[in-house]
């Protein structure tokens, strides 16, 4: 776990599920300050996602357009040899869909966090109780990697939005 690191040293490896959840639960037009904070994390090189994961999982054109518009090139990270090696260790038969032979982006999300000295995985997946079908949190738990969801990221970063939301609601009411 990463409790020994200063907050500004934590780097998040984000699964597409969390970006999609943020987009659907906290839309740009209603929660602009959340998206400003995410942009800050990305530009400070503290929030990462592999290009493969982004391209494979993110289907919402609005999210892709936001990344393009904000020039968030550092958000997309190309695999390194070390991450490739970590992925190979994580890619067990349990993370591969037996019907398709596809692992999706899950091993990449975990391998990136493992590659970072102080990486934390951000995913909306929940722990699976079925040992034959583990999810990202199961593997993270086995590897000792901290795993949180998008709300956990907000809490970990100590982001508070209530006053901004109240101000926006008052502006809209007038």
Per-chain mean pLDDT for the chain: 81
Nearest to 153 by CA among 59, 4, 21: 21
Domains of the chain by start residue, with CATH:
7-168 (3.40.50.1010)
Give the per-residue pLDDT at 1: 41
Residue (of 122, 172, 113, 109) closest to 22 by Cα position = 122
What is the rounded average pLDDT of the residues 80-106? 68
Comparing 45-49, 86-90, 117-121, the range with the smallest average pLDDT is: 86-90
Q: For residue range 132-142, what is the model confidence (pLDDT) as tens digits? A: 788 999 999 98
Report the alpha-carbon distance of residue 89 to residue 52 in Å, rounded. 18
pLDDT recorded at residue 101: 66
Q: Is the pLDDT of residue 122 over 90?
A: yes
Which tops the pLDDT comparison, 94 or 48?
A: 48
Across the range 108-117, mean pLDDT stands at 85
The pLDDT tens digits for 24-78 are 999 999 999 999 999 999 999 899 988 877 877 778 888 888 888 888 876 777 6
The DSSP H or E segment spanning 64 is helix 61-69
């Amino acid at each position: 776990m990463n409790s020994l690191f200063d907050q500004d040293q934590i780097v998040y490896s984000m699964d597409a599920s969390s970006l999609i959840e943020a987009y659907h639960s906290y839309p740009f037009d209603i929660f602009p300050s959340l998206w400003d904070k995410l942009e800050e994390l990305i530009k400070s090189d503290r929030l990462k996602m592999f290009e493969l994961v982004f391209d494979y999982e993110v289907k919402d054109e609005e999210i892709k357009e936001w990344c393009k518009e904000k020039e968030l090139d550092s958000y997309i990270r190309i695999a390194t040899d070390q991450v490739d090696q970590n992925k190979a260790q994580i890619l067990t038969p349990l993370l591969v869909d037996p019907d398709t032979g596809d692992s999706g982006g899950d091993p990449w999300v975990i391998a990136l966090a493992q590659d970072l000295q102080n990486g934390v995985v951000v995913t909306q997946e929940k722990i699976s109780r079925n040992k034959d079908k583990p999810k990202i949190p199961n593997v993270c738990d086995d590897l000792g990697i901290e795993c949180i969801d998008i709300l956990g990221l907000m809490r970990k970063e100590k982001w508070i939005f209530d006053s901004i939301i109240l101000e926006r609601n008052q502006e809209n009411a007038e």
